[in-house]
Structure 1
């Protein structure tokens, strides 16, 4: 089944990654939300190992925003004639930003749907 161009299995995979991130980061473990792009480390041994859903969601949104900002910056540099930026780099960064945004929209749609289902439940 396709949901807006993205397989529902990919959405379920992203939700599983969010759940894994919400269980708490491990020292030296790759960030499951970032697809292995960064490493989360505990700040101190006294810090809590639990990460709230809000924090995980905010971190994901911040990362999507950063990818979009980077893609826009590359595009502007290319348009200004910067020789160190190639067209292929600009296009790849733009596609990465688009894909991450579309995935975020699909997660949001699933969350809204789950919220509506919960609000329609009989108590």
Structure 2
């Protein structure tokens, strides 16, 4: 699980570097399935911030879950384009993305609590 968290944190850092224009970032740093563009996370208006980055990541996780559910439903209805292997891979991607998001949330809550409990 820590590998997934490290991966997400490195993706967030890479996105911030891209938003600042700090050079090239490897193409494999996008959050989501391997067909998505690395710059797909964030605000299209050019402003960047933690909120936009986090919101974009959550939107990608949601889209992964929706795609998996649609593929599962298509398989259940007998669509020949939705084979079992694709459905299982999509479901696993959705599950891993959700677990990683929950773990990041837990780490953020813990960091917030640590900051709030610091003596002044």
Classify the TM-score, shorter chain: 0.7 to 0.9
Looking at secondary structure, tell me which structure has more strand per residue.
1
- 1:63 and 2:57 are equivalent in the alignment: no
1:99 match: 96
| Structure whose alpha-carbon radius of gyration is higher | 1
Please report the TM-score for the alignment, with normalisation by the length of structure 2.
Answer: 0.79
- 1:11 and 2:8 are equivalent in the alignment: no
For these two proteins, the number of residue pairs brought into alignment is 113
2:115 match: 118
Structural RMSD (CA): 2.8
- For the residues of structure 2 that align with 1:108 and 1:13, how far apart are their CA atoms? 14
Unpaired runs of at least 5, structure 2: none
Give the C-alpha shift of residue 31 in structure 1. 7.6
Give the C-alpha shift of residue 28 in structure 1. 8.3
Please report the TM-score for the alignment, with normalisation by the length of structure 1.
Answer: 0.77
- For the residues of structure 2 that align with 1:13 and 1:73, how far apart are their CA atoms? 26
1:28-43 to 2 correspondences below 5 Å: 30=27, 32-34=29-31, 37-40=36-39
Unpaired runs of at least 5, structure 1: 1-5
